A = this chain, B = another copy of it.
Amino acid sequence: MLKIKIGGPAGLGIMSTGLMLSKLFKRLGYTVHGYPEYPSLIRGGYNNYLIIADTNEVYAPYKKYDILVALTDVAITNEKIDEGMILLADIESTKDKTNLKGKVLDLPFKKILSKLEVNEIAKNSIALGALIKLFNLDFDCLDEMLKENYSNEKLYKINHQAAIEGYNTIQERINFSVSKKDTERIVLSGNEAISLGAITAGVNFFATYPMTPASSILHFLAEHEKSFNIITKHTEDEISAINMAIGASYAGARSMVATSGGGFSLMVEGLGLAAIAETPIVIVESQRPGPATGMPTWTEQGDLKFVLNASQDEFVRVVLTPGDVEELFYFTFEAFNLAEKYHIPVFILSDKFLSESHFTTKPFKTDHLQIDRGLIFGGDPEKPMEFFPRYKEVEKGVGMRTIPGTPGGLYKAPGNEHDEYGFVTDNAENRVIQQKRRFKKINYITNDIPHPKLYGKIDAEITVVCWGSVKMQMMEILKITDRINFIHFPAIYPLDWSKVKTMLENRNLIIVENNMTAQLKSVIAENTGLIIEKTILKYDGRPFFADELYEKITGEAL
């Protein structure tokens, strides 16, 4: 397994270089995972991108890595470099040479830049060239990548030159065997998986307000709005975004919003409107540390209970907590079906780590996927202006939707409690009928959403319990040991909790969550009475690192 980090100041393009390198390894047959870190500023500061590549599957970042490419000093001072590592750095430009530890390979960025008379951005390609040489790989493969990346001929030339210079600089070799070329599998981020899932599902209305780490969903969908006839709106705020999406859904669109916890805070009121008006909606919430603005570019799993309980009073929602890019893709597709079958809000809960990191996967198969729009009234042309009992149960607690424009389907979609036609009423019996009907859906939804799943040897000594992206670290750990297995929650609500309880009982359980208060632990206790005593929690804005987590688990529980 190779673990390479590229570090340097923000604004140098480290993120795209990281991705290029990831793809490069992937094309050479490796499985890659790319984990980016950056602060909330545009230029300066410290950015880095960690690549994990292996012939086996890889899923998660490691704390300890092997090679550091330092684009400037800032990487050297920000990273812990130890003697076992290889450091690629511009020795001459390094102010404090005592920082140069490990096996130092000189990469004279400055000299090369001035020789080529190009600007700093070219450092990336120099570094890429150097790495290609170090791993004894085919330069053509990199060159192809550069061509794809720089459609502008002039830019390509510069970077091509820079890469060659980098390539020529390095004499050392690392033993590294290329398996088979792979043009099949894909490397993509969590947000890209979500976007692709939504596109496949036929999303045609997307309203949002930019917020890290959800913004790239907007960028992606906006980029493709014309090819797929999607209306994408960057609204004046998140309140507008969710209400617009609700309006669109009411009018018959498949609509989605995407935001982070802060933006979702502003959607809380609208969430309740979607719930009582039974307007289907898909909400992507990609978590970052809070409270409030918190740490905008970092990761955390701190919003689970918020999302489960948001908005006044009680209603049914679905909270999906996918753990990898495949789940992000397929669950997003299914989220639209669930929303439209049950007329409810459906959440995709992601986090910065999952949304913005890169993962390798097989291209998504979509043949078996089917769009299910639920019950929609076909209309009665004879009586076009007749009211329709849209809030009367047809089956499973669900009524028949009617889309404005449909003859004979008139009704009022209400934020108030209402009768079967949507007219406001305070009547006590009606209230109970409507609440019961809306909650009845739960019984059917539980069968339609994924149940917690055990990964690894069934009778391992210790069972980690986790949700969302922690699946990635646990998959990595399964590669190391079979003394640990884990139960992953790909959805949290609504579940068949008696089944969950049976699954959890009589195991040596330990909760692993990327938050401070162990929210899944709470939710399990709340629903089963089972209190999992052991917890491993992390809430410093970083995801768990596979090596770190493995140590913690063995320390805590083995």
Task: Name A residues whose Cβ lies closer than 8 Å to a Cβ of B.
Answer: 39-40, 239, 260-262, 264-266, 268-269, 272-273, 275-277, 287-298, 300, 302-303, 305-306, 308-315, 414-417, 424, 426, 428-429, 431-432, 435, 439, 515-517, 519, 522-523, 525-531, 539-542
5 of the cross-chain contacts (CB-CB < 8 Å) are A265-B310, A276-B292, A431-B540, A525-B525, A529-B529
| A295 near B426: Cβ-Cβ < 8 Å | yes
A135 shortest CB reach to chain B, Å: 31
Chain B minimum-CB-distance residue to A287: B312
Which residues in B have their C-beta under 8 angstroms from that of A276?
290-294
A42 shortest CB reach to chain B, Å: 14
Quick one: given A415-B292, A522-B526, A529-B525, are A261 and B428 in contact (CB under 8 Å)? no
Quick one: given A312-B306, A426-B40, are A291 and B275 in contact (CB under 8 Å)? yes
| A313 near B300: Cβ-Cβ < 8 Å | yes
Which residues in B have their C-beta under 8 angstroms from that of A515?
313-314
A83 shortest CB reach to chain B, Å: 23
CB-contact partner of A312 in B265, B424, B431, under 8 A:
B265
| A292 near B265: Cβ-Cβ < 8 Å | no
Which residues in B have their C-beta under 8 angstroms from that of A519?
314
CB-contact partner of A292 in B275, B288, B529, under 8 A:
B275
A4 shortest CB reach to chain B, Å: 21
| B531 near A294: Cβ-Cβ < 8 Å | no
CB-contact partner of A426 in B39, B268, B269, B292, under 8 A:
B39
CB-contact partner of A289 in B292, B293, B417, under 8 A:
B417
Report the Cα distance A424→B527, complex, angstroms.
38
| B265 near A311: Cβ-Cβ < 8 Å | yes
| B539 near A261: Cβ-Cβ < 8 Å | no
Which residues in B have their C-beta under 8 angstroms from that of A313?
261, 289-291, 294, 300, 302-303, 306, 515
Chain B minimum-CB-distance residue to A313: B290
| A290 near B261: Cβ-Cβ < 8 Å | no
Report the Cα distance A530→B294, complex, angstroms.
34
Which residues in B have their C-beta under 8 angstroms from that of A275?
291-292
| A312 near B295: Cβ-Cβ < 8 Å | no
Report the Cα distance A432→B439, complex, angstroms.
40
